[in-house]
Structure 1
Amino acid sequence: MPKSLLRNLAPVHEMIDDEEIQKYVRELGKELVTNLIREVQDKLRNDILEEKANIISFIKESKEDSDVQMYRLIKDELLERLDKKVESNFQQVINGTGTVLHTNLGRAPLSSEVMEKLSDTVTNYSNLEFDLDSGRRGSRYSHIESIIKDLTGAESAIVVNNNAAAVMLTLSALANDKEVIISRGELVEIGGSFRIPDVMKQSGAHLVEVGTTNKTHYSDYENAITDETGMLLKVHTSNYEIVGFTEGVSREELVQIGHDNGVYVVEDLGSGLLFDLSKYGLQYEPTINDVLKSGVDLVTFSGDKLLGGPQAGIIAGKKELVDKIKSNQLTRALRIDKLSLKALEETFRIYLNPEKAFKQIPVLYLLTQSLNDIEKRGKELKSKLESSVIKNSFHICLEKNVSRVGGGAMPTQDLETWTVVLKGDNSKLYDLWNSLREKNPPVISRLQNEKLIFDLRTIKEQELDTVVENLEACMTRE
C-alpha cells in the first residue's frame, strides 16, 4: 500500500492554483512557493517510502479518499511553512521580565518621538555627507558633534557603530604598537566573549596589567610607565562589582599620573549616562560630564544602554585626539549608518530638555517610574486575568519583586517592582511559558520557583490586553 499512495500526490500546478496558496504566491512569488511545495512533497514521499507508522495509520483511518487526505497533509504543512516565511524573524516582543536593558531583547527601546523624526530623513535623500552651506562633500559626524559637545562639555566627538568599536578605534589611533596600562581588576568581558584584552590585541596596542584583581595602587601605574607607554586606560566595571578588601586609583589620580608623564588617559565608561540617577533612588553611576570634568583626555560609551538610543559607540573629549581618530583608516570600517546616526541625533536632542527626557526616553522613564504606577498596572492586569479562563487553571496574585537594570549596568541595583504571578501545576506553567513565546507578539516572562512571573515595570499599559489575549489563546489551544 505505501508505494501506491505516491500516485495520489497532487501535481505542483494543482497546489499552486489553490485559492489559499495563491495569496502567498502574490506575496512571496511563484518560484519560492513552488520550491516549498516540492520540499513538502519530497518529505511526505520519503515518509511513505520509509513506512512511517503515523503517516500510514493516519491515511488508513481517514474516512476520506487517500488522495484528499494526502492533499490535506501537504497543504497543512505547506501553509505552516508559508506563514513562517511571511512573518518577520526580527519582531516586536512584550518584555515581561522586568529587565529594562535586556540584551537579548534589543536593549534600549527607542523613543516614539525619535521614530517620528526618522521617516522623512531616511525614506528620502539626505545631506548625510553633503555640506549644504558650501555645496561640497561634508562629514556625517558634523550632524551630531555639536550637540554632543553641548551636552557633555567635550571639545570634540565622533560616533561609530558600537562601543567595542569605539574602544578599539581609540587604541588603534592613539596607541598602536605602544603599551597601554590597565588595572588587572578592569580587564572585563564586555559580553558574548568579547574581552578588553582581545579588543586591545586587535587594535595593535600592547597590554600591560598592573595591580591585582582586588587592589591596584597609585604606585603600580607610576612604576609601569616606560618610554613605550602610550596610554593609561580605565575601564568602568559597570557589569560587576568587587567588594570587600579592595582599593583602586580614582580617575582624578590617573589623570594626574598621565599628565605628569605625558601619557593619554582614556576611560571606557561603557554604559554612558548624561544625568545623575541617584536622586531617583538608584545607585550613583558616573556621568559622561563627570568623567570629562575629571580631566581624562577621552571617554567612550554606548548609545543603546543607559543613554537610551540606538546601537552606537561615542568617543568624546580633546579635539586634537578626536581629529587623529577621524583620520584613522579603521574609522570608515567602523562608521555608523545613517539610520542609527539620525536616531542618535534625535535622542540627544531630547536630552536638551531634561524634563522632557525623563518622559520621552523609555529607559529613563522605566528606571525612574513610580512604584505606584507599576502597582496600578499590576492591579489592572490581575483584574483582567481574574475575568478570563486563566482563573480556572492557575492561582493569580499580585506580588512585590525586584527588577534589574540590565545591559551590564548597575549589577547590584535592586529596583523594587510589582509583578503578577501565576501559580499552579509546574508542568503547565512551563508549557505556558513556552507557548507565550510562539504568539504574535511573543510575551517573554520569568519562570522561577514554580511561578510564572510578569513584571509590570517593563509591560506598557497598552500591552496589558495583548498579554491577556495571548494567555487565553495558549490556554484554549491546550
Structure 2
Amino acid sequence: MEIIKELLEKTPRNTVLETIREELDDIRESIKKGELDEQSFEKVINLLSEKIYKNSMEKNSYNLKRVINATGVVLHTNLGRSLLNEEVLENIKNTSINYSNLEFDIDSGTRGSRYAHIEDIIKKITGAEGSLIVNNNAAAVMLVLSTMAKDKEVIVSRGELIEIGGSFRIPDVMERSGAKLVDVGATNKTHLDDYEAAIGENTAALLKVHTSNYRIMGFTSSVDSKELNGLKEKYNLPLIEDLGSGVLIDLEKYGMEHEPTVQDSLGKGVDIVTFSGDKLLGGPQVGIIVGKKEYIEKMKKNPLTRAFRVDKLVIAALETILSYYIDEEDAIKKIPTLRMLTISLAELNKKAVDLEREIKLLEVSSSLNIVIEDSMSEVGGGSLPLVELPTKAISINSTKFSTQKMEVFLRKSNIPIITRVYKDKLYFDLRTIREDEYKVIVETINNMCKTLKERI
C-alpha cells in the first residue's frame, strides 16, 4: 500500500511493522465481535499513519522529558520542583563537557575537596561556621544523626514526627541513622519541661523539626529553637534543626506568611541546620547542612558522606544559584522559583491576556469557551501549606469535546501540557507558564481541536 511505503521512508522499519502487527491483532478481534465494516476499515487505514507516527515518537524519545506545568503549583514534586535558568545550565555544560578541578586544589597543585567550591559562599550567606552538601535533605538528617547521636538518644517533639515525600518518616530516618528516638509531649502540645524531663545520661542531642509541609491549628503550642537553646546550654547538648524546605530570604516582604530562614535558626543558637536545595532555595536536588565547624568536620569523616555525596553537575548548579543570594534582588530576578512566587497579579493578568489573544486567533477557537479567571496558585513541594497565591488562569471547555478528552490529549502530546481540571474546565495557570511556552500551548490546542473533531 502507498501509505505504508511513505511511512517506511520516514519511520524505522521495526516501528512500522510492530504497529501494523498491533493493529492487525485489534482488527481480528473487531472482526470476531462483528464490529468492523468497510467504512470502519477505511477509518483504521487512515488512522494507521497517525498511530505509527505516535509510536515512532514514543519509541525514539526519552522517558524523562520536558513538560509544561500549567497547574499553578510552583514546586510541583511530580514535575521536578525547582527550575534552573540558562546561566545555571551554561555552568553545568562547561563543567560536564570539560575536565574540572572537582577534587584538585589549583593553588597548591594537590588533591582538594569537592565541598570547598561552595563552602565559603554558603558560610557567607548564612553566617555558619561550616557547611556540607549531600544528595537530599533526608540524607542530610541521617548523616547528622549518624555522626552526632549513633547508639544514643535524640529528643524530639511528637508533634514534629513528620512524614516527607514518598511515605518516608522522620522516625524511620532516625532509626536507620542508628540514633534512638525519644519523643516527648503530645501531638498538639509540647512544652520545654517535656524536653528537660527526657534528658538522661544517654541523651546525645535535641532535635527540632520544622513542620514545613503541614500545620496543626487550634489548641497548640510548641517550643521555639531559642527556648531550646537555653536548655542545650544548661545540659551541654547540641541542638539540631531540620528546616525541611529551607529558605534564605524573608518571604514576608513579598506578601507570604513567615517561614523561618536558615539565618534565623542559626541566630537562635541552633548548632546544626539541615534543609533542601530544590524547594524554596530554587536550586538542584541537594541536602545542605550548615552549622558549627566541629560537627561539620566530623560529618565529613563519616563513611556515609561518600555514599551521599553529590556529583560535579550538582555542585556547578548549586554554586551558580547561591551566587545570586549575595544580592537579594538578583535572587528574586534570576531564580525561576522565586520569580514565580513573587510575580505581581498585574503581570499575571498581562500574561493571561497575551495567551488568551493567541488562542482566540486560532480558527478552531470557535469550538472552545475561553475565559480569563481569578484563581489560586500553590507553593507546593511540602512548603508553606497554608499559603494560597492569587493568580490569573485561562479556563477552557467545549460543547463539542469533553474536558476529559481534552485533558488526555494535552497530557499525551509530544510536549505534555499538565493542566488543572476543576468543575469540568481545564485551567492554565499563568504563574507557572513561561512566555516562551505560549507557542507550544497554542499549537497543541490547535492540534487537539482538529484531532478530536476528526474522531467525532
Query: Please, what TM-score do these two structures have when normalized by structure 2?
Result: 0.91
State yes or no: 1:439 paired with 2:445.
no
The CA distance in 2 between the partners of 1:424 and 1:24, in whole Å, is 35
Equivalent residue letter for 1:213: T
5+ unaligned residues in a row in structure 1: which ranges? 1-7, 9-14, 26-32, 64-68
1:53 to 28, 32, 48: 32
* Residues 70 and 418 in structure 2, CA contact (< 8 A), matched pair in contact too: yes
Distance 2:23 2:404 in 1: 32
Residues of 1 paired with 2:7 and 2:19: CA distance? 16
What are the within-5 Å matches in structure 2 for residues 113-152 of structure 1? 113-152=87-126
Retained in 1: the 8 A contact 2:30–2:36? Answer: no
Secondary structure of 2:431's match?
coil
User: Which of 281, 290, 293 is 1:319 aligned to?
Assistant: 293
Of 332, 341, 345, 1:371 maps to: 345
SS in 1 for 2:217: coil
Aligned counterparts of 1:213 and 1:24: Cα–Cα separation in 2: 60
Q: Corresponding residue for 1:459?
A: 433
Counterpart in the other structure of 2:310:
336
User: What is the 5 A alignment of 1:392-471?
Assistant: 392-425=366-399, 428-471=402-445
Q: Distance in 2 between matches of 1:367 and 1:451?
A: 24
Compared CA separation, residues 114 and 410, structure 1 to 2 (3 A) = same
**Residues 476 and 229 (structure 1 numbering): CA distance in 2 closer, same or farther, change over 3 Å?**
same
CA 1:114–1:48 in 2, change beyond 3 Å: closer, same or farther? Answer: closer
| Residue identity matched to 1:53 | K
Relative to structure 1, the CA distance from residue 128 to residue 58 in structure 2 (aligned partners, 3 Å threshold; closer, same or farther) is farther
Structure 2 Cα separation of the partners of residues 474 and 227 of structure 1: 68
Cα contact 2:161–2:169 (8 A) shared by 1: yes
Q: Does 1:167 align with 2:141?
A: yes
Q: Which residue of 1 aligns with 2:229?
A: 255
Residues 173 and 324, structure 1, Cα contact 8 Å, conserved in 2: yes
Which residue in the other structure is 1:198 paired with? 172
In structure 2, the partner of 1:5 is none
- Partner residue, 1:176: 150
The answer on 1:187 being equivalent to 2:161 is: yes
1:328-360 CA distance string (max 9 Å, x none)? 011111101111111001110111121111110
Deviation string, structure 1 residues 200-226 (Cα, Å, up to 9, x no partner): 111111111101110000000000011
- Summarize the Cα distance change of 1:39–1:143 in structure 2 as closer, same or farther, 3 Å threshold: same
Report the identity percentage.
49
Answer yes or no: is the 8 Å Cα contact 1:371–1:417 preserved in 2.
yes
Whether the 8 Å contact between 1:164 and 1:199 is mirrored in structure 2 is yes
Q: By how many angstroms is 1:259 displaced?
A: 2.1
**d(CA) in 2 for partners of 1:371 and 1:50?**
55
Q: How many residues align?
A: 449
Instruction: Provide the C-alpha distance between the structure 2 equivalents of 1:400 and 1:300, rounded to a whole number of angstroms.
Output: 37
Distance (Å, rounded) in 1 between the aligned partners of 2:51 and 2:179 = 55
CA contact (8 A) 2:7 2:49 kept: no
Separation of aligned partners in 2, 1:38 and 1:421: 41
**CA RMSD between the two structures:** 2.6
Q: Give the alignment's TM-score, normalised by structure 1.
A: 0.87
Superposition map of 1:190-229 within 5 A: 190-229=164-203
Secondary structure, in 3 states, of the residue corresponding to 2:182?
strand
- Which of 98, 101, 110 in structure 1 is aligned with 2:72? 98
Please, which moves more after superposition, 48-57 or 100-109?
48-57
Query: 1:239: how far off?
Result: 0.6
Q: In the aligned structure 1, how far is the partner of 2:173 from the partner of 2:273?
A: 16
Distance 2:180 2:400 in 1: 53
Pick the structure with greater CA Rg: 1
Take 1:98 and 1:376, find their aligned partners in 2: how far apart are those partners?
16
1:306/1:56 CA distance change after superposition, 3 Å: same
Could you tell me how far apart the structure 2 residues matched to 1:330 and 1:292 are? 25
Structure 2 CA distance, aligned partners of 1:95 and 1:278?
Answer: 26
Q: Which amino acid aligns with 1:337?
A: D
- Conserved? CA contact 1:21–1:79, under 8 Å: no
- Structure 1 letter corresponding to 2:192: Y
Work out whether residues 162 and 312 of structure 1, in 8 Å CA contact, stay in contact via their aligned partners in 2: yes
Partner of 2:323: 349
CA contact (8 A) 1:47 1:55 kept: no
In structure 2, distance between residues paired with 1:420 and 1:257: 53
Which of 281, 293, 298 is 2:267 aligned to?
293
Aligned-partner residue type, residue 196 of structure 1 = I
Distance 1:282 1:54, change over 3 A: same
Contact 1:111 1:347 in 2 (8 A): no
Distance across 1 between alignment mates of 2:311 and 2:197: 43
Deviation at 1:229, TM superposition (A): 0.8
**AA matched with 1:155:** E
Match of 2:361 among 374, 387, 400: 387
- Identify the residue that residue 284 of structure 2 maps to in structure 1: 310
Gaps of 5+ in 2: none
Question: What is the letter of the counterpart of residue 32 of structure 2?
Answer: A
Q: Residue 4 of structure 1 aligns with which residue?
A: none
**Compared with structure 1, are the counterparts of its residues 179 and 463 closer, same or farther at alpha carbon in structure 2 (3 Å cutoff)?**
same
Moved more, 269-278 or 382-391: 382-391
Deviation at 1:24, TM superposition (A): 5.6
Instruction: Name the SS of the counterpart of 1:402 in structure 2.
Output: strand
